[in-house]
Every structure is written in structure tokens, then in C-alpha cells.
Amino acid sequence: MRNKRDVYLDDRPWEEALEGLFQHLREKGTLAPLAPEEIVTEKALGRVTAEPIFAFHSSPHYNASAMDGIAVDSAITFGASDAAPKTIQLGEKAQVVDTGDPIPAGCDAVIMIEDVHFVAEDVFEITSAAAPWQHVRAIGEDVVATEMILPANHKIRPMDIGGILAGGIGKIKVHPKPKVALLPTGTELVQPGGALKPGDIVEYNTRVFGALVETWGGEPLRWPITVDDWGELKQSILTAVAKADVVVINAGSSAGREDYTAELVRELGTLLTHGAAIKPGKPVILGEIHGKPVIGVPGYPVSAYLAMELFVRPIIYKMLGSIPPNPVTAEAIVSRKMPSPMGVEEFIRVKMGQVGEKLIATPISRGAGVIMSLVRADGMLRVPRLSEGYRAGESVKVELMRPLEEVRQTTVVIGSHDMSLDILANHLRRRFPEASLSSANVGSLGGLSALKRGECHCAGTHLLDEETGDYNVSYIQRLLGDRPVVLVNLVYRQQGLMVAKGNPFEIQGLEDLAREGIRFINRQRGAGTRILLDYRLKQLNIDPDSIYGYNREEYTHMAVAAAVASGAADASLGILAAAKALDLDFVPVVEERYDLCIPGEYWDTPYIKRLLEVIATPEFRHQVAALGGYDLRDCGGVMYRQGI
């Protein structure tokens, strides 16, 4: 067993690192597509042709009637007109046919049945002449024998299957699906679905990888979990290299004591790159063993996903004789400043929505370990290596992760976090499948500022006025001036101290936060909960500096609740619903009002009308009430109007 620290070989631009791998594999003669395999045409959807496909026979392979009617020798119809109808008797040069029937010998046209008037059982008249070959599908009209139906390296679509079969081809040769071995490593990993103990990490990365590989046209081979042992990992890699065309090793790519991947690739083959100039995903490994590409991707899910997209996807397409399709992009306006370190290309997940004439992009969590940042993302924004980021209001190109039309139908809510917004988003999507809700948690003041800048359709706010005891109105008047707005109540909610089950520190109120040994976790500056806390501390004459953890911040009620539930903090101020969700005890402090501030220009738009319709439904209200700590007595009611 080895316990050593590796160092990064380099910090190369990812494009250069990928091309270096390709060049090495070309020299080894292993980058070309694999030997073709033959499959039945009906099972070929999504496969890539290994050679051109030529028609075996024509389609149709006979002259066929294109209509129900009468096949005729067109010469016998000449002269027919409305003024002088022509009478024709069924016989050798006039025979009844149905669509698809062969054209009888001696006939060269079809008269539609609706243009025929039978005057006797076998005699009919027509009022216009038939042109030669009218309503006749000539031999080869669709496919001509020996013509090329599809070229090589073509990804087969549903309509292609019809064309191939029409040409008489029942089997075709395609590039085999590259077999991609997916090796999860780490003693801490456990399979999904079982009970978890501290230190366990659910192994879901290779499930994501497998879905990606299938999407790209490969065949995933998922290996069992390999613990952090040099010998076991070495054997797993050798077995994978023997059975697969590409090997992906998940985790162990960094420079820790049990990160063996780079050294094993170096020992067993050629280590080409250890460390790329990307964020997240820097400690990626590119190498080759026995002519097979071996990719080491970081364990953090966002880093791993990005490494798969940048390095494994192009390899699979190369082996299929194809190139990856270009991402669908859209121009958007950055909602707030996005600083980024020079020298690395950073990939930032963003939420998006159409606000007025602008498509707005708002960054969400940049943590490499936050899989939900990918789940929630509408797009990916790239910050170039030689840039220090983007300014607020700057126009940028975003790679879409959702259809643009769906993005344009998104109601953008920025401001204070509340769990009822998640329920609102769900019911909105159920009632209006074309619509969605995007919620960015930046605090009440941040929400009103975003609204002022024209970056959202409404802002969630619960700002307490210390002088009047009222909520939100004075802040709206101060921050938005005389701008037309409507303030609609969503909920009243219980704010209080969330503490561990059983309240082991016997915390009874805010004054206990200043006790020695109590660890607190706070909400960010500008959050309504933070403003409420400061107001109550001032009332109690408690110095915030006397509270251990006052300056430690999180952005949502669930985040501070999770800190208490994990033992990282002893108390936090938040809503009862969050405490109940994580089975915490709760010490009530105050009931507060949570409203949606809606600009006048959006009041009559579908973005807001749909929200108000959902808010009025019993289903939404019952589900919110079931969370606990909510009162919906004014839900949907207008609490304040200004300029409307």
C-alpha cells in the first residue's frame, strides 16, 4: 500500500490537454472508430453508420397508383371538358385501381375517383382530360436502386430507418458503441438506498456518468466501488482496460495521501496531463494504458460532470466517427458581478428568465460539490481564462441546459428565501406545464434591489420597519421611490430559534445566544431574518459581537437549519417549517409577514397572473399549511398598492 502525495504535472488549458491526448492516441493508432458491427435496421435508432448505405432496390419498384380511381390510357381522355364530357367504358385501357396498386399494362395515368361519374355499372364520364403520368408514382420516385441513402458517420434518425428499409436494406453496418468503464473509488462510498452513518457518501456519480455516456452514444459499464487501496485499484484499472474502450476513474485524481490514480496511470501506461486550467474540475487526469484512453475525474459531482463533458464526450464522438453537436446558446444580461480568477476558464451555473426585453442570467452556487446547482441550472456561463469575470449588466453568451422557450416562460423571483416558493413552483408547473418559477435567494434587500434594476418579475420580502412595526412598505417607498408596485401577501410565518432535538443547551430566547459556549449561525446581510435579529437584539440591548458565530452566514433557512442538525451550530434564527423539516426543536420569537413585491408593469402579465391563480388554489394552501408554522389568512391578498 502506498501513502504519498502527488503534485500536478501542469495546469494546461483544457483544449490543449484534450488535443494532446488525441495526438497520443493517434500515434498509438487507437483513436479511429472501432471495427464495424452489423445490426438490424429496425434497431438502428441513434447509431452511427460505419459505411455509406446504398439502396438495394427502387421504391416503389413498380409504377403505382397514387390515388383511388381509374387507371387509363391518357390518350383516350383527350377532348373531355365541362361542355363536352367524354364517356369511357371500363376495359383494357380503363381499369379501377386503389392507392398503391400497380398501373395496368396499357395505362399511363390515374383519374381520381371523385372526378369520375358513373352513368352505368361499367361506363363513366369525365369532364377533363388526364395528363400522362398524373397520379402515378413512377418506379424510383422515392428511392432509386443503387443511390446512396445515407453517408458514413451519420447518426440515424427515425425517418432514416424508413428510408433504409424503403431501399430494401434489412441490416446495416454501424460503429460499435464505445464501451466506457466507470470506476467509482473511495472507502467512504456506499451504494444508494442504504442506511447512512457519518462519513458515508452515496455513490451516484457513476449513475450520472452512465446516463451521459448513453446520451452520447456509448455503452456504460459500471464497476463496483473500489476502496482506497493501491493494489485493488490497480487490478480494477487493468480489468477495465481489458474489457472497455475508455476507462473513467472517479475520485482519487487530486493530490491527497490516498489519491492514487495519477501514479497508477503513470506506472501502467502514459500520464499525459494531471491538472487542467478549469474551475471546477482542475485535478483531471488524462492518460493512456494499453492504447486505451484513461480519464481520472474529481470526486466532487460538478467537477466530475464538467470533466465528463469536456474530455469523455469528445472521445466517444471520435470513436463514433462524429463530432459533438454545438451547444445551444443565448445572449443574456448578467444580474450581478461575477468575479473570476485569472488563468483558469471558469464554468458558472446560472438561473435564467425573460424579464421585459432582457434575458437575465443569475449565478447560483459555484461549489464543486453541489449537485443541485446542476439540477437547478438553466444554463452554463463560461468565463475565459484571461478574464477576471463579468460586470453586472454585461451581455454574455450562455450555453442552455433547458429549452429557450421554457426559459422565456419562467417567472423570476429574487429575494428572501421561503419554503412555500418551492411548493409554488411545483403547483405552477402542474397547472401550467409550459411555465416554471426560478427563485434566487439573495435576501429581502437584495430582492428589492434586483427588482429596481429590472432583473426579476417579483421579489420576496419580509422587512420589518423598526419604527412602525409594519412590514415591507417603508423599504419599498425608500428603495423604489414612486415606482408603481403591488404588494401581495404570500404567508405569515413563525420565526424562532432552531435548536437541536431536546434543546440540550436549554435555549429559551435570543438573550441565551450571548451565553458562553453557544455557537450561532446567522443569515446573510440584507436578509429579512438578519434585520429581524438585529432589531430584537437592539431591543434586548445585546451586543452582536457577544454572540459567537454572528458573522458566520448562510443564504437560506434550510442551510442554517442543516448546520444545526449536523451539529455545526447550536442555534440559528429561522422559520418553523425548516425546523420541522429537519426534526429540530423550535423556540418561537415572532410571527412575521412574507410578501411578494410585484412591479406594476408585470401585474397583468402571464408571469404574475399564473402565480396568483396558483396561490388561490386550495391544493397550494393546504400543502403550505402542512409544513407547519404558516398562517395563510391573507394569502393572495393585496397589502399595499403604489401608483396602480
Q: Residues 391-450: pLDDT tens digits? A: 988 999 999 999 999 999 999 999 988 999 999 999 999 999 999 998 888 889 999 999
pLDDT band at 350 (very low <50, low <70, confident <90, very high): very high
Q: What's the mean per-residue pLDDT of the chain? A: 93
Q: Which of 79, 66, 146, 145 is nearest to 109 (CA)?
A: 66
Q: Quote the cell numbers at residue 530.
A: 438578519
pLDDT surpasses 80 at 315: yes
SS3 245: coil
Of the chain, the percentage scoring pLDDT greater than 90 comes to 84
The answer to whether the peptide bond before residue 60 is cis (omega within 30 degrees of 0) is yes
583 torsion bin: left (phi>0), alpha (psi -120 to 50), beta (else): left
Q: Residues 141-196: pLDDT tens digits? A: 999 999 999 999 999 999 999 999 999 999 999 999 999 999 999 999 999 988 88
Q: Which domains does the chain have, with CATH numbers?
A: 14-33+177-319 (3.40.980.10), 37-59+141-174 (3.90.105.10), 64-137 (2.170.190.11), 328-402 (2.40.340.10), 458-642 (3.40.190.10)
Q: Cβ(390)–Cβ(338) under 8 Å?
A: yes
pLDDT surpasses 50 at 536: yes
- Per DSSP bridges, beta strands 379-383 and 345-355 are antiparallel
Mean pLDDT value across residues 18-25: 96
pLDDT top residue among 11 and 586: 586
Q: Which of 209, 392, 214 is nearest to 304 (CA)?
A: 209
Mean pLDDT value across residues 96-108: 96
Q: Residues 475-493: pLDDT tens digits? A: 999 999 999 999 999 999 9
Per-residue pLDDT, 264 = 94
Q: Residues 609-636: pLDDT tens digits? A: 999 999 999 999 999 999 999 999 999 9
Q: Residues 25-44: pLDDT tens digits? A: 999 988 888 899 999 999 99
In one-letter notation, the amino acid at residue 584 is: L
pLDDT band at 1 (very low <50, low <70, confident <90, very high): very low
pLDDT surpasses 90 at 139: yes
Strands (E), 58-200: 64-65, 69-72, 86-89, 94-97, 109-112, 117-120, 123-126, 136-137, 148-150, 171-174, 179-184, 189-190
Q: Residues 45-55: pLDDT tens digits? A: 999 999 999 99
Q: Which of 567, 555, 507, 560 is nearest to 528 (CA)?
A: 555
pLDDT surpasses 90 at 259: no
Q: Which of 320, 245, 251 is nearest to 289 (CA)?
A: 245
Q: 478 φ, ψ to 5°?
A: -75, -40
pLDDT band at 11 (very low <50, low <70, confident <90, very high): confident
Can you give the pTM of this predicted structure? 0.85
Q: Cβ(238)–Cβ(181) under 8 Å?
A: no
Q: Quote the cell numbers at residue 576.
A: 418553523
Q: Which of 633, 432, 361, 580 is nearest to 424 (CA)?
A: 432
Per-residue pLDDT, 7 = 53
Which H, E and C letters describe 474-526, residue by residue? HHHHHHHCCCCEEEEEEEEEEEEEEECCCCCCCCCCHHHHHCCCCCEEEECCC
pLDDT band at 3 (very low <50, low <70, confident <90, very high): very low
Per-residue pLDDT, 614 = 97
Per-residue pLDDT, 257 = 53
